[in-house]
Structure formats: structure tokens, C-alpha cells
Amino acid sequence: MTEDNSISFDFPSNRGSTVEQCQRMIHKSLLSPKVRFLKEHLEKAGCSIGDNFIKAIKCDDAGVAGGYTQGQGIVVCCNEMESQDDVNQVLKHELIHAFDDCRAANLDWSSCAHHACSEIRAGHLSGDCHFKRELLKMGSLKIKGHEQDCIRRRVLKSLSASPYCTGVAKAFMESVWDVCYNDTEPYDRAP
């Protein structure tokens, strides 16, 4: 018991999955309709993905679920994955980045505007900020405008990790918002 008469427990942190569990979830995710759709459109755009394009790894940065690196592919941070849905969500988000990289001949990840645009698109088209997902994470949220607020929050968080966006992330995000939010390729409209 603590001084305020409450009981506290220290539970070991068992967050996440092993690399082997994560690899199985990635394989299953590649069969899911939305991930398969994005993979197919990436290939239609001229960028085939090989067996090593998506990798399951243990990441050092807490809170980072995955990432896309130009010329290298996608990593899924297994230590942050608690469910199949987590893996599906990361793959949808990162495949949008890969699609953007594939379809744009001049995409420059060191350009804060280019990076912001892809983050806006990935947040919007992957469902990262879907109402139900946000409600489960946050416990409550406003009804009107929650998705755009969530995307803005997530874009700024991602851009804050870029040395190219120091002090200018919000301005660049706002400057490309309308064009990038309304660009729903490869979908006809946002899913």
C-alpha cells in the first residue's frame, strides 16, 4: 500500500510481439483485402515488392510502429504490435508512402512539403484516424472534425522527427493540406 492507501502493482512490460509472431501477422496481413489492394496498385504503378520489402524487426524507438525508407522498404516494429489489426494498420500506412514514392518521379523525402504530403495522405487513406480507432485510443473525442485534427496531430508528430522540418513543420503541412488531403490515389475516394 502507498501512503494515500492505494495499492500499486508493478507489472512487467509484455507489450508487443516477437519477430516470429510479427512475421506471421505480416504474412496474414498481405492477404487482407485493403493491404492486398495497396500492394497490387503499387505493382501496377511499376514498383514490385520482393520478399524482403517488408521486414519484421524490434525497434529501439518506443512508440514507433513502423516506417518506410526509400530504396529499402517497410519495417514493422514488432515490439509495438499487439494485434493483427495493429500490423494491418501499419502496413496500410506505410504502403501509401511506398505508393507515393513509386508514382512521383521527383519525391524528395528531405523536402518537408513532400514528406508532409505523404504523411497527410497516409493518415487519411490508411484509416489511422478512423472514428472508432480514435475513440478506443483516446476514450472520447469531438464528433465533427476529429479525423482532420487527428491527421494533423500525427503529421506534426512524424515531421518533428525530421531534421528537414525543424521549426517549419506546421507551415509546410498547412501549405499542402488541401491538395494532399484530397488526393486519394490509388482509391477513387477515401476509404
End-to-end CA distance of the chain: 50
103-119 as b/e, with b when 16 or more CB fall inside 10 Å?
beeebebeebbbbbbbb
- Is 134 catalytic? The answer is no
In DSSP terms, 56 is beta-bridged to 76
| Single-letter code of the amino acid located at 72 | Q
Please count the CA atoms within 13 angstroms of the CA of 149 that sit on its side-chain side: 9
Q: Which of 43, 80, 82, 94 is catalytic?
A: 94
- The whole-angstrom separation of Cα 125 and Cα 128 is 8
- The whole-angstrom separation of Cα 36 and Cα 180 is 23
- Residue 122, C-beta contacts closer than 8 angstroms, at least 6 positions apart: 93, 94, 96, 97, 100, 128
| Active site members | 94
